[in-house]
Chains A and B, each alone.
Chain A
Amino acid sequence: MLKFMAKRILDLIPTLFGISLLSFFIIRMIPGDPVLLLLGERGADPAVYEEMKKSMGLDLPIIEQYWVFLKDAFQGDLGESIISKRTVVSEFFDRFPATFELGIVALIFAVICGIPLGIVAAVKRNSFFDYFLMGGSLAGYSMPIFWWGLVLILIFSVQMGLTPVAGRMSVMFDVDTVTGFMLIDTLMPEIIKDEGFAPFFSALSHLILPAIAMGTIPLASIARMTRSSMLEVLSEDYIRTAKAKGLSVGRVIAVHALRNALIPIVTIIGLMFGSIITGAILTETIFSWPGVGKWFVASVNARDYPVIQGAVLFIATMVVIINMFVDLIYAFINPKMRS
């Protein structure tokens, strides 16, 4: 196990190196002069131009530039936004809790709906319900979520008036940031004392639609995976033995089958982190959710290159490290994987 862990962690180094190279070259591959691009019209003044070039470190040889970039990145310095003039790291961490909260709720939604649906489809194999569900999950899997989010808004916000259209919180309430997670912050004792549970429900109602939109593709893959994994397990001999012993169907499924069927399901849930980020970029843009995804798209539209560069480095590193943890956890549960 230790050997596997060491190998998996060492494997990370070249990947992280590649990611750092990629994000380093983003700003340097833009056609034209990055200094002029950042300065705009004022770049015409040679003194300002030289100063800017120096402050960006673009007067150094390229190898040295990369070295400086790496050194800064390791010290948590990813430069600052051209627009807000704040550091990329602090901008990122301001927004990260919003994305994290949305992502977690979306995943919980996907798991809570996906696993039972998959189980029922497997148990009632080839029934109408099974076909209906698998057709639905294929549609969910092909869903353009940027459209799906709009349809949800159209139905639940515009037509039925049930949920708010955008944002994280009603402007009526003033909630102090404690953890950054609205669902927790609105339950702080002083908020409940002043405003009751209204802020909590406001936060919840803002969260529901984006979480459904973001959770739809994971839901579809979890349901499909659960179904095929359950089907495989249900045909095993030990399940027949359990049934022959006279155990109830519910007990056989919940205790005997599900436990083994869960292994591949847990893996794909872990590996969904990447698609959660993809979902965040689109979902946050639709629902004006103040998270990392919306910030990233806005930076690309504003051509705020330091932010693009920093965000890519940050997000990619996070995805890679989380995938490594998923692998390690998987190897821990399933010894067959360690070789």
Chain B
Amino acid sequence: MEEAIDKTSVEKDPSVLKEFWDDFSKNKGAVGGLALILVFILIAVFAPLLAPHSPSEIFGDALRVGPNWSDNGKAGFFFGTDDVGRDILSRLIYGARVSMSVGFMVVFVAMLIGVNLGLVSGYFGGWIDRVIMRCTDILMSLPSILLAIVVVAILGPGLNNTVLAVAVVAVPSFVRIVRASVIAEKNKQYVMASQTFGASSLRIMYFEILPNCLAPLIVQGTLGFSDGILNAAALGFLGLGAQPPTPEWGTMLSDARAFIESSPWMVTLPGLCILFSVLGFNLFGDGLRDALDPRLKK
């Protein structure tokens, strides 16, 4: 008897997650995006198990060997090798590790800075809001790659500095999104209620308002992943990001440029990895936005 009651109540009041999944799974593109992301994450996590060789192992007798299905292919190197004889498949697999962690770090750092600035800006208003918003305006007026290059020019090239540079570029959008939702939330009754109870500003900001800003923040975080991966790869391509021999997709492309006529597979494959990982996060982010924000539904 009790069980039956439980069941009906569950059916009548589906959990938030289930409701979200029902909305989300209607969007085929978004599910495809999620699948792409999961594939890349799994590849990144299990890279050492999946990769047939070490990404930096040099096979002196196999320089620029073509993919297996081409005429000059060689057993053991499915996607061929690069100009110094490293297995491209293994480098692409380890590249997923680099790009996924760069994407994660970029979103993490940008969120950490952006959320705090946005909360302060939206909650307190006044001169501090004006100063913060002015700074984000300035950062947003600069083309993203230009700004990232400037940061790298100051700090010097390298993977860690790439993360910082790309995160700086991503901060303003987080600030704006959090600020906008804080302003929308802060005059609602639940906030006033906790103010009446004497909750501190910090408590209200982080424990009352922030949880209600999560939806747009999650969407922006997902889209930030794709921008982060793309910008980091662009820096790598320009020779300002991860330095060789790091198996980073953008850096691999930059190496491959010189061999575009003789070894086109060296150019094609890393680019496809960048395209599909960015596409995955964009599709997933768009789907999340539609599922989490009913107002945007067409």
- Known: A142-B230, A142-B275, A300-B240. Is A147-B146 also a contact (CB below 8 A)? no
Residues of B within 8 A of A144 (CB): 230, 233-234, 237, 250, 271, 274-275, 278
Chain B, residue nearest A312 (CB): B150
> Given A15-B141, A300-B149, are A146 and B275 neighbors across the interface (CB < 8 Å)?
no
Bound Cα distance from A142 to B271, whole angstroms: 11
A139 with B279: in contact, given A154-B264, A281-B145 (CB under 8 Å)?
yes
Interface string of A293-324 (1 = CB under 8 A from B): 00011001101010010001001100110010
Contact with A along B109-150 (1 / 0, CB 8 A): 000000000000000000000000011011001111110011
- The 0/1 profile, CB within 8 Å of B marked 1, for residues 130-167 of chain A is 00000100110111101110110110001000000000
Q: Answer yes or no: A285 CB below 8 A from chain B CBs.
A: yes
Residues of the B chain whose Cβ atoms lie less than 8 Å from the Cβ of A192: none
B153 interface residue (CB < 8 Å to A): yes
Question: B209 on the interface (CB 8 Å rule)?
Answer: no
* Contact for A281 among B146, B270, B271, CB less than 8 A: B146
- Provide the residues of chain A in CB contact with B268, threshold 8 Å: 151, 154
Complex: chain A residue closest to B280, CB-CB: A142
Given contacts A158-B260, A308-B150, contact A147 B275 (CB under 8 A): yes
B233 engages A15 (CB within 8 Å): no
For A316, list chain B residues within 8 Å (CB): 141-142, 146
Whether B242 is near chain A, meaning CB under 8 Å from some CB there, is: no
> Interface on chain A toward B: helix, strand, loop, or mixed SS?
helix
| Chain B proximity of A154: nearest CB distance (Å) | 5
Q: What's the Cα separation between A231 and B253 when bound, in Å?
A: 39
Interface size band for A:
35 or more
B278 and A323 contact, CB distance less than 8 A:
no
A207 to chain B minimum Cβ distance, whole angstroms, is 20
B264 touching A158 by the CB < 8 A rule?
A: yes
**Residues in chain B near residue A106, CB distance under 8 A:** none
B13 CB–A CB distance under 8 Å: no
CB distance from A234 to the nearest CB of B (A): 13
| A135, A147, A228, A312 interface centre (most CB from chain B within 10 Å) | A147
A residues 249-282 in Cβ contact with B at 8 Å: 274-275, 277-278, 281-282
Which of B237-262 touch A at CB < 8 Å?
Answer: 237-240, 250, 253, 256-257, 260-261
B143 touches A315 (CB 8 A): yes
Which residues of A lie under 8 Å from residue B234 when comparing CB positions?
144, 146, 282
Cβ of A61 within 8 Å of any chain B Cβ, yes or no, is no
Alpha-carbon gap, A87 to B277, bound state (A): 42
Q: Judge whether A29 is part of the interface by a CB distance below 8 angstroms.
A: yes
Kindly state whether residue B152 has any CB partner on chain A within 8 Å. yes
Please state if B267 and A282 are interface contacts (CB–CB under 8 Å): no
CB-CB under 8 A from B275, the residues of chain A are: 139, 142-144, 147
B2 CB, min distance to chain A CBs, angstroms? 47
Is there a chain B Cβ closer than 8 Å to A19's Cβ?
Answer: yes
| Inter-chain contacts of A282 with B (CB < 8 A) | 145, 234, 237-238
| Residue B226 at the chain A interface, CB threshold 8 Å | yes
Q: Which residues of A contact B230 (CB under 8 A)?
A: 142, 144
Chain A residues in 8 Å Cβ range of B238: 146, 281-282, 285, 297, 300
Q: Which residues does chain B contribute within 8 Å of A139, judged by CB atoms? A: 275, 279
- Chain B contacts of A36 at CB under 8 A? none
Q: Is the CB of B153 within 8 A of A308?
A: yes
Alpha-carbon gap, A163 to B223, bound state (A): 36
Q: Does B52 contact A (CB under 8 A)?
A: no
B19 CB to closest chain A CB (Å) equals: 25
Say yes or no for A26: interface residue by CB 8 A criterion: yes
Decide if A146 touches B142 in the complex (CB within 8 Å).
no
Chain A contact residues, CB within 8 Å of chain B: 14-15, 18-19, 22, 26, 29-31, 135, 138-139, 141-144, 146-148, 150-151, 153-154, 158, 228, 231, 274-275, 277-278, 281-282, 285-286, 296-297, 300-301, 303, 305, 308, 312, 315-316, 319-320, 323
24 A-B pairs whose Cβ atoms sit less than 8 Å apart in the complex: A15-B137, A15-B138, A18-B135, A139-B275, A141-B282, A144-B233, A144-B271, A150-B256, A150-B260, A154-B268, A274-B142, A278-B144, A278-B146, A296-B146, A297-B238, A300-B240, A303-B153, A312-B146, A315-B143, A316-B141, A316-B142, A319-B141, A319-B142, A323-B141
Give the 3 A-B residue pairs with the shortest CB-CB distance, closest first: A147-B271, A18-B138, A142-B278
